[in-house]
Amino acid sequence: MISGNRQNNGLEVKTRSVGLGAAKPRICWGVRRGRRLVCKEPVTDEAIIEEVKRLIEELKGRIERHKDRLESAAFIDELIGLLERWLGKHENEKGRKIKEARRLARKMIELLRKFRERWVEVYWRQLLELMELLEKNAIDVIVTGENNNDKSLTIRLYNKDVAVEVDKVAKSGNITINLTLSELEGDDVKVLNTFNDKKVMEPLQRGWELTDGGVINDHPAMNTAQP
């Protein structure tokens, strides 16, 4: 097995050459090095290996099911369209809060358009390449966690600007997939304290805690994909 780097669409990707007899991906325990994890030692527990394979198949299946929307960036276009319709609906309304909201909506549209361009030119291509390398068993599958009800089991795949994380969530057994994209432009904004009413905030906080709350490293935590 030989490690190497190759260029594809101007992107450097770490790959592993596979021989004629190589039929298995390299599944290894991860250790942190900088912002990412690297392989420390091979996973030998057969139960964990089988669960990792199941997570890999789930990842492949979901990307295939949503391939048209991902390839066309339809999910970004829908967000842009939603914001543009909102702007049109509230274009002539007056007031400080609505004026600030329109400014934020325009800034979000600007950032989403930049994100769309980078998604098509960079992120989607790198995600496809990850899937191709995974199909050829030519990429490291990095594992953390445990295969039980107390701690989630996670696999990670890395490309230059795209990181894929697949989690089998502890207790529920649900499978979640997260993409981390680098080199995205953002902006700092100041917003009015819209939710300063305790009667409004408490139900919102309790709802988020019930649906998205959890415990990570003995500390309360929340992870949500909701806007």
Domain ranges of the chain: 21-194, 197-227
Tokens of 143: 């594992």
Residue 43's contacts (CB-CB under 8 Å, 6 or more residues apart) are 27, 28, 29, 49, 52, 143
Each residue's pLDDT tens digit, 30-52: 999 998 999 999 999 999 999 99
d(CA 143, CA 56): 12
Please tell me what DSSP assigns to residue 220. E
Kindly give, in sequence order, each residue whose CB lies less than 8 Å from that of residue 37, ignoring residues fewer than 6 positions away: 30, 31, 142, 144, 156
- HSE at residue 91, side-chain half, CA atoms within 13 A, is 5
Q: For residue 9, name the pLDDT band (cuts at 50, 70, 90).
A: very low
Type of residue at 189: V
pTM for the full model? 0.73
